[in-house]
Structure 1
Amino acid sequence: MRFSLLSLLLCFLLSRAQAIPPSREIEKAQIKDFTDQLFEISSVMLHDVINPPAAARFYAYATLAAYQVVVNNSEHYPYLSEKFKEVPEFEMPQAPESLNIAFASTYAMLALGEKILPSGYMLQDKQNAYADSFQQNYVLSDLTLDENIQYARAVASEVLAYAGSDGYSRLSTYTRYIPTQKEGHWYPTPPAYIEAIEPSWMHVRPFFMDSANQFSPPPPAPFSLDTSSSFYQQTMEVYHTVKDVNDEQEEIANFWDCNPFAVKFTGHMAIGLKKITPGGHWMGIAGIACEKADISLKRAVFVHALLALSLHDAFISCWHEKYRSDRIRPETVINRYIDQKWKPILQTPPFPEYTSGHSVASASAAVILTQLLGENFAFDDDSEVYFGLPIRSFSSFTQAANEAAISRLYGGIHFRDAIEDGVAEGKAIGHYILNKLALNVNSYSGK
């Protein structure tokens, strides 16, 4: 009888040990928790139809809140905020002895999102569900959970206060942008003829750049209908590319569309097509890569935060140039002067053409992710499956960024110089940020 009880006890202990996943599996599960909750923030942005530069700002502050939990309670990680253009005077709370960094960092991100997004209240239920799930999966006491929640909210409050001084709240006070009828300048495009988005975005404070025009590209090709001019030749390239587009090019164009303002008309009814922004697409790629890579939850939070902060600066630089050059879109030129019935494959976004926002953002993102995760990091990008698009596979972040850039030509919404100069602009921003931080990534590669 004694032997039987001992055997049962050993079997019970063995089964319990097998039920507890190894630490690496726990790490992977917590990274997925983080990326899943970040997607909840993206879902609220979809609901609110957040524009690309604003989305980048919201991602930046949300992930910065998560990262502040990590950096305040870990070794080997750099204080990114010490390199900001305007260094914040954070008064971070004392972490509780019961601190669970995985939980508190993710919860801080959700708490920041709740306060900063127009419909952030939608994240309240997500916070509660995440807390209940984490407590159940990792057996936290009610007291421990409450202490971590209070700490995460306090950290988020400090970051939110810093966000309140970045100039975003004053954007509506600037002189309203009014399109000009002059040749070569931007004018609202069909089918919805939406007014220009965020014409004063250059007044939002960057994180790392000294100014919005620090990385201004060369001037775009001047408007000209002379058949020998660069502008006319680029116009005809867009025109013929769309007319002769093949299946692969059309799939690429749609995969990287990322236009939250797309509208479909059925009779007299306009239907908004929900799509993620370029920044949201790259945040999704970061999540895919971090779940695949052999890294810690802390490092995954770091990757997301630095990427989001860099995307924010990239959009400030790009938007400054868009409204400085105020360049006409291919659709407007072609319909006015070449072919009234021509339509691009993608709907033209509602802001000036030069430089290409996706080109700038993607190039800067690729520089950051390549430095942090590797030069030949292959991945399957399923971030658009949610929107009914197939998975695309890439051998590196650079390959993905280059495809995102050229997709704007295939889609008929950008001229070639806006794409190529946008890539150069984005790369310059990414390298500048890395150099400013002087990162030694090997020192905290897996900690």
Structure 2
Amino acid sequence: MLLLSKAKGIALLALFIGLFSATSCTRTSPEEYNGRAADPDLLHQTSKQLTTVIIRDIFKPPVASRIYAYANLAAYETLRAQSPAQPTLAGRIREFAPVPAPEEGAEYCYPLASVKAFIAVSKALTFSVDMWDAYEVELDRKYGAMDIPQDVYERSVAYGGLVAKHVLAYAEQDNYKYTRGYRHTLTHAEGDWEPTPPTYAQACEPKWSAIRSFTLDTCTQFTPAPPAPYDLTPGSEFRKMVDQVYDYGRNATAEQKAIAYFWDDNATVSNIKGHFSYLEKKMTPPGHWQAIVGTVARDQRLDMMKSLEAYTFSSIAMHDAFIACWEEKYRTNRVRPVTVINRLRGEGWEPYLETPPFPEYVSGHSSLSASAGTVLTHLLGDSVAFTDSTEYEFGHGVRSFSSIKDAYMEASMSRVYGGIHFLDGSLEGTNQGEEVGQWVWSRLTGKPVEYSPQEEVAKKIAGK
């Protein structure tokens, strides 16, 4: 009897061990590990990490827009492999061939592959590789807790790398290297741009219009209306705008100053105290709008694919807006308010914001903000209210908006309040950005758009 009980116990123990082993070795299903990895917060965190790296590396705003666009493109094209209804951008953006296809019949964790593609491109286009390495250690720990089978994990990372390599090869041909090292030739003609205080830096990216766009037919496709002629005669259109900026500099309200500072987005602000000087590094305008995408995506509870669509489409719009805007800047070569006012008034006048080192017309922040905002409005609707706290960590406060357009229109006027743009430069920049945004939306989606904001902007200029 004792022997029988002992044998029965051994059999039960063997059964328990067998069941435990079978359970512990059960392969996680694709639905399970893809569901865990598709947490959009991992994408938002990785996008924020790119902004953190760009701030540390002090990339200029046009260059930052290029980095965001290529990183998002790689992530988008990788993730859409699991979303057949999501269109590829191959054939919709210039010279971009289809990315390599995943291995047929093999299992992938596409959300993992997508984030890895984003990081691979970001790492290649930035300098602070150490920051990416440290970030990936923590990110890999999170993915490691998702029970992704080892073969799937390795295959997915490899596929993300393959797509990243494809996108980087595409980026290699966009004329970026050709534009390095060029300097803008000063004319010293009255009304033309010249370096501005406090650092009198050389002109930023004078050849940026030679960069290959993603969607534009030419860099002159959306040329704004001509700027007001340089004329300091009292009562002239230009003189009225000069006086307006001067008055804002002396009498701006607390709210106008708050708006100007909130949208400053100067990558490097110079602080000069006697013989002591230092740089304050902050978010660029493209980084600010990518952060707004993250805020709105969380508010609207967008899934990873829809979030990535918003990041990608808006970053492509900003990239192309910079090309159109920079072509206009260096073609018109218009003087900045600080130069005109100090010649006219002789009072050591300083704008509320530091003047960035490039010609005035049109406003880059206005153009790229409107381009991103127009695309996001198409994606999400024209009544998306949100609170923007993305630059709170830099001391820029928090502001709330009733719509995305409300935000980009405020960004445009902030440049006048801050003393660094004339009114027509800001509003015509907005006009250009809206047109670029409409064009980008149409090209990326294949949907026709009939819209011309010229009349609306003309009314705003007349009413200010």
TM-score (norm: length of structure 2)? 0.86
Task: List aligned pairs for 1:333-412, cutoff 5 A.
Answer: 333-412=340-419
The equivalent position to 2:280 in structure 1, one of 245, 259, 273, is 273
> In 1, are the aligned partners of 2:295 and 2:388 still within 8 Å (CA)?
yes
Q: Deviations over 1:260-282 (max 9, x none)?
A: 13110133222111111111100
Identify the residue that residue 4 of structure 1 maps to in structure 2: none
The answer on whether the counterparts of 2:96 and 2:170 sit within 8 Å (CA) in structure 1 is: no
Aligned CA-pair RMSD: 2.0
Distance in 2 of aligned mates of 1:89 and 1:141: 28
Secondary structure, aligned partner of 1:32? helix
Quote the offset at 1:75 in angstroms.
Answer: 1.7
The 2-side partners of 1:191 and 1:54 are apart by 23
Which amino acid in structure 2 is aligned with residue 42 of structure 1?
T
Tell me the CA shift for residue 122 of structure 1. 3.0
- What residue in structure 1 maps to residue 461 of structure 2? none
> After the TM superposition, which residues 94-243 of structure 1 pair with which residues of structure 2 at under 5 Å, given as runs?
94=103, 97-136=106-145, 138-172=146-180, 174=182, 176-243=183-250
| Equivalent residue, structure 2, for 1:9 | none
What's the offset of the Cα at 1:95? 7.2
Report the Cα distance in structure 2 between the residues aligned to 1:290 and 1:414, rounded to whole angstroms.
31
1:81 matched to 2:90: yes
Would the aligned equivalents of 1:27 and 1:296 in 2 still touch at CA under 8 Å? no
Match of 1:273, SS state, is strand
Report the equivalent of 2:315: 308
291-300 or 152-161, which moves further after superposition?
291-300
Contact 2:314 2:372 (C-alpha < 8 Å) held by counterparts: yes
Unaligned runs of 5+ in 2: 1-31, 449-464
Question: Does the Cα contact within 8 Å between 2:362 and 2:426 map onto a contact in 1?
Answer: yes
Contact 2:388 2:398 in 1 (8 A): yes
Q: Distance in 2 between matches of 1:28 and 1:403?
A: 37
Partner amino acid, structure 1, of 2:172 = G
SS state at 2:180 partner? helix
1:72 Cα offset (Å): 2.7
Question: Runs of 4 or more off by more than 6 Å in structure 1?
Answer: 26-29
Residues of 1 paired with 2:263 and 2:57: CA distance?
20
Q: Which amino acid aligns with 2:424?
A: D
- The alignment covers a number of residue pairs equal to 416
Q: 1:338 to 1:309 in 2, by over 3 A?
A: same
Give the superposition deviation at 1:284: 0.3
Alignment of 1:261-300 (within 5 A): 261-300=268-307
Cα distance in 2 for partners of 1:338, 1:77 equals 57
Change in 2 beyond 3 A, CA 1:251/1:44: same
Displacement of 1:173 after TM fit?
Answer: 6.0
Q: Which residue of 2 aligns with 1:413?
A: 420
Q: Compared with structure 1, are the counterparts of its residues 28 and 361 closer, same or farther at alpha carbon in structure 2 (3 Å cutoff)?
A: farther
Q: CA contact under 8 A between 2:90 and 2:96: conserved in structure 1?
A: yes
Matched residues in 1 for 2:104 and 2:387: separation?
38
| Equivalent pair of 1:366/1:398 in contact (CA under 8 Å) | yes
Shift of 1:368: 0.5
Q: Which string of whole-angstrom CA distances, capped at 9 and with x for unpartnered residues, describes residues 225-248 of structure 1?
A: 111211111000000012111111
Residue 128 of structure 1 and its aligned partner are, at CA, apart by: 2.9
Unmatched 5+ residue regions in structure 1? Answer: 1-22, 442-447
Q: Would you say the 8 A contact 1:135–1:145 is kept in 2?
A: no
Which deviations, in whole Å up to 9, do the C-alpha atoms of 1:354-409 show, x marking residues without a partner? 00001101111111111111110111101111212211111110000000000001
Relative contact order, higher structure (CA 8 A, sep 6+): 1
What is the CA distance between 1:28 and its match in structure 2? Answer: 10
Structure with max Cα Rg = 2
Q: Which amino acid aligns with 2:82?
A: N
Q: How far apart in 2 are the matches of 1:132 and 1:224?
A: 63
Shift, 1:88, TM fit: 2.8
Say if 1:359 and 1:401, in contact at 8 Å, map to a contact too: yes
Shift of 1:189: 0.8
Provide the C-alpha distance between the structure 2 equivalents of 1:302 and 1:356, rounded to a whole number of angstroms.
Answer: 26
Equivalence for 1:433: 440
How far did 1:169 drift? 0.9
Distance in 2 between residues matched to 1:215 and 1:297, nearest whole Å: 32
**1:140 deviation in Å?**
2.1
Superposition TM-score, scaled by structure 1 size: 0.89
The equivalent residue for 1:245 is 252
